[in-house]
Amino acid sequence: MTVMSKRNLLKWAALSSVAAAALVGCGKKEEPAAPAASPEPASAPAAAAAPEPLKAAWVYVGPVGDAGWTFAHDQGRKEVEAEFGDKVKTTFVEKVPEGADAERVIRDLATQGNKIIFATSFGYMEPMLKVASEFPDVKFEHATGYKTAPNMRIYDAKFFEDAYLAGIIAGTMSKTGTIGFVGSFPIPEVLRNINAYTLGAQSVNPKIKTKVVWVSTWFDPPKEGEAAQSLINGGADVLLQNTDSSAVLQTAEKNGKYAFGWDSDMSAFAPKAHLGSAVALWGGYYKKAIKEVMDGTWKTERTVWGVKEGQNDLIKIADVVPEDTRKKIDEIKVKMKAGDFEVFTGPVVDASGKERLAAGAKADQDWKDKIDFYVKGVEGKIPSGK
Amino acid sequence: MNEIALLIAATLASGTPLAVAGLGLLLNEKAGVLNLGAEGMMLVAAIAGFATALATGSDVLAFAAGAGAGALMAAVFALLVIGLNTNQYATGLALSLFGGGFSAFVGVSFVGKKLEDRVPFEVPGLADIPFIGPAFFKQHWMVYVAIALVLAMSWFLYRSRAGLVLRAVGESPESAHALGYPVRLIRFGAVLAGGALCGVAGAFLSVVYAPLWVEGLVAGRGWIALALTTFATWRPARVLLGAYLFGGVTMLQFALQGAGVEVSSQLLSMLPYLATIVVLALISRNPLWIRINMPASLGKPFHPGA
């Protein structure tokens, strides 16, 4: 069923963009009249007078069916459709490689009359910045980046909060005292998650050690599984990952170990191994952004929402997790929602023993943006990548 | 010690799909046909195998479906390349691209579906030996079948009459034709069998190894299998060793990372291709060696009338 609707959507999206492109080609400025198949036949005259829908477009790095990162963004897009109905027209382009292709796709979408374009991967930053300068009337939104322009802004989520909460569970559930992390690339976002995961685990068991294996990809399920297997072979018994498939979780299941879902609810993949899923919930932000464009209040800024704003969460905590631990997580979530809880609160000591954050100090955004170390308890070295 | 045993076990499992696909491609190439469509064939077979395993729960049927899907893809390739004499390189590449897209399209509704866990086959008597048991004898049965396939392939190519004819077709199709052998039919059969083996490898990835279906699941293993045939200088046993080597490199890298040794994973993922280039450079310096092993008519079309 979902497949059908996705396909229909694709067709519809393709048709509408073709139509729009044709209109642009004719040099007309008007949008097509309200669609013939108006959902409310009684109010036909009203529909004709209604303002044309706001066109919004999404650029995805993966397939919508990845059951992870891109899937989560597309859920957000669907929330926009549900909220604004006829007032908005959404389009998406999936599997757009980061780089030259992205620039072409983003420019196409801008040419087709989209008033706001969301690009949902880090590597779209430079291409989007370039296109943004060519279309001053279009609003550009880039996920997880750090560069802005007068008509381009950035948004992100505090996934490290999820990683911290997962860490609390991992610290409780680990029998070996060693937990594992499958990392994609050693960038601040991923290092934040490794560190938060470790700090969370250490908050319930100070002796916890974290082993990290880097796979140099966001998405290669067999390789993600191999990495998970090597962590398990090395003694890690609760795993978290910063990659996009469910392979780590399924490998844990096969070995009778524990793991978490990442980006979206993955509980169905591994009923025994699944301890919880760290999910991204982009819908709230997308609705806010669309509303701001409609109201004319959109302005450049940087939004980093977290559990407080409902941008991310740790959900579906498994029944095997002890009651005390669930209670602790609920308490921390309450504090996070009230804005009273910062994962990176000093003292934060790195793996070499150097103090990176003084006792009592709370990390600011800049500190978190520049994380380039493992906290104490994480084993190994960060690959230099140079 | 136990960790090393597990590393060996993981290496065997990780090398198995490479070995099976590599053997399939070796068979193709021994008959003089180069099929660059391995990645696409494996992807289509992976989704066919996954869907079958989901519906029936049987690995045998899943591998059969994978083999069928691989052979079907190979048949398309064979019709174009052998029937219409299209360029083998371009047709193979097109097959790869088509397979990638087609498998994604067919597979949409299978994303996120879960298979039952596969229980490893424990070789009776041997699986309980310390170290040796966990290292070698607790694997999916396909891991052992792959080894048997290598032996069968060696026997077929070098000890059987049919294998001799097949190699003759790959070396000098004109001579084979003059002797009255149906060159195009033999090549067609070799391509189908090769596609079927690639298909089994693809199904192994999605049913046993991953085990899940997502778009692009094969993630370049078809290309590694292609590189493998050259790396192995067209010898079945070397294909198997090469597969374990290439499979083991990744596992070793992860194990080293876990042990705190820094290795560049980018460099390691280059390694199979780098090794292939080195082998190519070496064999091209030794004309005798290349004549013995590399099929002389590899990649060249055959016109029976010409």
Q: What is the pLDDT of residue B270?
A: 78
Q: What's the token pair of residue A372?
A: 């380039």
- The three-state DSSP-derived secondary structure of A222-290 is HHHHHHHHHHHHCCCCEEEECCCCCHHHHHHHHCCCEEEEEECCCHHHCCCCEEEEEEECCHHHHHHHH
pLDDT (mean) for A297-312 = 93
Q: Does A227 contact B254 at a Cβ distance shorter than 8 Å?
A: yes
Pairing relation of β-strands B121-122 and B138-139? antiparallel
Q: What is the pLDDT of residue A49?
A: 54
Give the minimum alpha-carbon distance from B11 to chain A in angstroms, rounded to a whole number. 9
Cis? peptide before A45, omega within 30° of 0: no
Q: Does A230 contact B217 at a Cβ distance shorter than 8 Å?
A: no
Q: Does A66 contact B214 at a Cβ distance shorter than 8 Å?
A: yes
- Encode pLDDT of A337-352 as tens digits: 999 999 999 899 999 9
- Encode pLDDT of B91-127 as tens digits: 999 999 999 999 988 988 888 788 887 777 888 888 8
Q: Which residues of A touch B116 (CB under 8 A)?
A: none
Residue found under tokens 């820094």? B262
Pairing relation of β-strands A258-263 and A238-241? parallel
- Encode pLDDT of A103-153 as tens digits: 999 999 999 999 999 999 988 999 999 999 999 999 999 998 889 999 999
pLDDT (mean) for A212-218 = 87
Q: Which of B117, B214, B265 minimises the CB distance to A253?
A: B117
Residue B150 pLDDT > 90, yes or no?
A: yes
pLDDT grade for A36, boundaries at 50, 70 and 90: very low
Q: Which residues of A touch B210 (CB under 8 A)?
A: 221-222, 225, 247, 250
List % helix, strand, coil for chain B (3-state, nearest 5): 75, 0, 25
Rama region for A310: left / alpha / beta (φ>0; ψ in -120 to 50; rest): left
Q: Which of A214, A233, A384 minimises the CB distance to B257?
A: A214
Instruction: Report the range of poorest mean pLDDT among A39-48, A65-74, A338-347, B285-294.
Output: A39-48
**Disruptive mutation site among A95, A194, A220, A269 for chain B (greatest number of B CBs within 10 Å):** A220
pLDDT grade for A44, boundaries at 50, 70 and 90: very low
Residue A46 pLDDT > 60, yes or no?
A: no
Cα–Cα distance measured from residue A148 to residue A299, given in angstroms and rounded to the nearest whole number: 11
Bigger pLDDT: A9 vs B235: B235
pLDDT (mean) for A283-292 = 95
Give the minimum alpha-carbon distance from B150 to chain A in angstroms, rounded to a whole number. 23
Cα–Cα distance measured from residue A330 to residue A348, given in angstroms and rounded to the nearest whole number: 24
Residue A385 pLDDT > 70, yes or no?
A: no
Q: What's the token pair of residue A344?
A: 């990176």
pLDDT (mean) for A162-184 = 96
Task: Give yes or no for a contact between A241 and A221, defined as CB atoms under 8 angstroms apart.
Answer: no
pLDDT (mean) for A167-193 = 94
Cα–Cα distance measured from residue A68 to residue A66, given in angstroms and rounded to the nearest whole number: 5
Residue found under tokens 């004319």? A296
- CB of B254 within 8 Å of a chain A CB? The answer is yes
Residue found under tokens 């590393």? B7
Indicate the SS3 state at residue A116. strand
**Disruptive mutation site among B114, B214, B263, B264 for chain A (greatest number of A CBs within 10 Å):** B214
Q: What is the pLDDT of residue B291?
A: 62
Bigger pLDDT: A148 vs A29: A148
Pairing relation of β-strands A209-214 and A178-183? parallel
Instruction: Report the range of poorest mean pLDDT among A81-90, A93-102, B43-52, B93-102.
Output: A93-102
Residue B262 pLDDT > 80, yes or no?
A: no
- CB of A3 within 8 Å of a chain B CB? The answer is yes
What average pLDDT does chain B have?
89
Q: Does B14 contact A6 at a Cβ distance shorter than 8 Å?
A: no
- CB of B141 within 8 Å of a chain A CB? The answer is no
Cα–Cα distance measured from residue A283 to residue A279, given in angstroms and rounded to the nearest whole number: 12
Q: What is the pLDDT of residue B301?
A: 85
Amino acid symbol at B39 = E
Instruction: Report the range of poorest mean pLDDT among A66-75, A115-124, A318-327.
Output: A66-75
Task: Give yes or no for a contact between A119 and A97, defined as CB atoms under 8 angstroms apart.
Answer: no
Task: Give yes or no for a contact between A142 and A153, defined as CB atoms under 8 angstroms apart.
Answer: yes
Q: Return the bridge partners of A142, or none.
A: A119, A154
Q: What is the pLDDT of residue B1?
A: 57
pLDDT (mean) for B215-238 = 90
Give the minimum alpha-carbon distance from B257 to chain A in angstroms, rounded to a whole number. 6
Q: pTM for the complete prediction?
A: 0.80
Q: Does B210 contact A250 at a Cβ distance shorter than 8 Å?
A: yes
Amino acid symbol at A219 = F
Residue A23 pLDDT > 70, yes or no?
A: no
Q: How big is chain A by its Cα radius of gyration, in Å?
A: 22
Give the minimum alpha-carbon distance from B287 to chain A in angstroms, rounded to a whole number. 38
Q: What is the pLDDT of residue B214?
A: 84
* Cα→Cα distances A40→A8, A34, A108, A276, Å: 21, 11, 32, 43
Instruction: Report the range of poorest mean pLDDT among A91-100, B49-58, B119-128.
Output: B119-128
Give the minimum alpha-carbon distance from A3 to chain B in angstroms, rounded to a whole number. 6
Q: What is the pLDDT of residue B259?
A: 73
Residue A382 pLDDT > 90, yes or no?
A: no
Residue from A217, A264, A255, A260 nearest A233 by CA: A255
Q: What is the pLDDT of residue A232?
A: 92
Helices (H), chain A: 2-25, 44-49, 69-84, 100-111, 125-134, 159-173, 188-204, 221-233, 247-254, 283-295, 323-338, 365-369
Task: Give yes or no for a contact between B301 and B88, defined as CB atoms under 8 angstroms apart.
Answer: yes
Q: What is the pLDDT of residue A32?
A: 41
Bigger pLDDT: A33 vs B200: B200
pLDDT grade for A274, boundaries at 50, 70 and 90: very high
A211: nearest CA partner in chain B: B258
* Cα→Cα distances A328→A323, A325, B167, B224, Å: 9, 5, 69, 48
Cα–Cα distance measured from residue B272 to residue B239, given in angstroms and rounded to the nearest whole number: 12
In this structure, the number of other CB atoms found within 10 A of the CB of residue B287 comes to 9
Residue A3 pLDDT > 60, yes or no?
A: no
ipTM, two decimals, is 0.79
Percent of chain A with pLDDT over 70: 86
- CB of A380 within 8 Å of a chain B CB? The answer is yes
Q: What is the pLDDT of residue B121?
A: 83
Cα–Cα distance measured from residue A192 to residue B287, given in angstroms and rounded to the nearest whole number: 55
pLDDT (mean) for B187-207 = 96
Task: Give yes or no for a contact between A314 and A162, defined as CB atoms under 8 angstroms apart.
Answer: yes
Instruction: Return the C-alpha torsion angle B56, B61, B66, B68, nearest 10.
Output: -120
Q: Which of B209, B260, B265 minimises the CB distance to A380?
A: B260
What average pLDDT does chain A have?
86
To 5 degrees, how large is the angle CA B241–CA B267–CA A97? 110
Amino acid symbol at A383 = P
- CB of A28 within 8 Å of a chain B CB? The answer is no
Give the minimum alpha-carbon distance from B186 to chain A in angstroms, rounded to a whole number. 35
Which of the 8 DSSP states describes residue A152? E
Give the minimum alpha-carbon distance from A204 to chain B in angstroms, rounded to a whole number. 24
Q: Does B219 contact A254 at a Cβ distance shorter than 8 Å?
A: no
B134: nearest CA partner in chain A: A233
